[in-house]
Amino acid sequence: MQPEQVTLFERVGGRDAVGRIVEAFYRHVEADPVQRAIYPDDLEPGKEKLKLFFEQWMGGEPRYTGLYGHPRLRRRHFPFVIDELAAGRWLRYMRQAMQEEGVREQDLRQVFEALGPLAHHMVNAGQDVPRGAHEQGMRLS
Ligand code: HEM
């Protein structure tokens, strides 16, 4: 197979590698009290969802959607107040996590071309968005 026919998911090392990336990302979040304060007390459910999501997003099996439906990421983030600085920190910690896992420079470039706009799309601080699950009429988990 030519390298370009191999999915990003396979190039980074598959499910185990995605799991390690998400664990590393959350370690960075936990080490930063300001970023940590945005997240709920129990980090485990979110961690598992992020693993499933990234597996799917990188071209692996669509297990996230199988379990939780369409990602609708911006809506799912409404309960959490996210400003530009938080988006910047999210991107920094994700880049560090992927670098620690040995994701190659050209893959990092491709990934962050997409994740940059996506992270800024998640910014909702100061916006009149429904913060509670009941207001959104949807299941969050
Ligand atoms: C911009 C900064 C971001 C912040 C501060 C942030 C923060 C959060 C928080 C607090 C949660 C809830 C975790 C939980 O319930 O335990 C969450 C969930 C999640 N985030 Fe983010 N996030 C950001 C950007 C992103 C981006 C760019 C993506 C995707 C590329 C993403 C993907 C997810 C996913 C898939 C979930 C689980 C959603 C669900 O099924 O409930 N997040 N995020």
Tens of pLDDT along the chain (141 residues) come to 555 679 999 999 999 999 999 999 999 999 999 999 999 999 999 999 999 999 999 999 999 999 999 999 999 999 999 999 999 999 999 999 999 999 999 999 999 999 999 999 999 999 999 998 655 545 554
> Which has the closest alpha carbon to 139: 38, 49, 37?
49
Count up the domains in the chain and report the number. Answer: 1
How far apart are alpha carbons 26 and 134 in whole angstroms? 27
Q: In which domain, by residue range, is 75 found?
A: 12-127
Residue 19 lies in a domain: yes
Residue 5 lies in a domain: no
Task: Indicate the pTM of the whole model.
Answer: 0.93
Which residue has the least CA distance to atom 30 on ligand 1? 115
The CATH number covering residue 22 comes to 1.10.490.10
How far apart are alpha carbons 84 and 82 in whole angstroms? 7
Q: Which atom of ligand 1 is nearest to the CA of 44?
A: 16
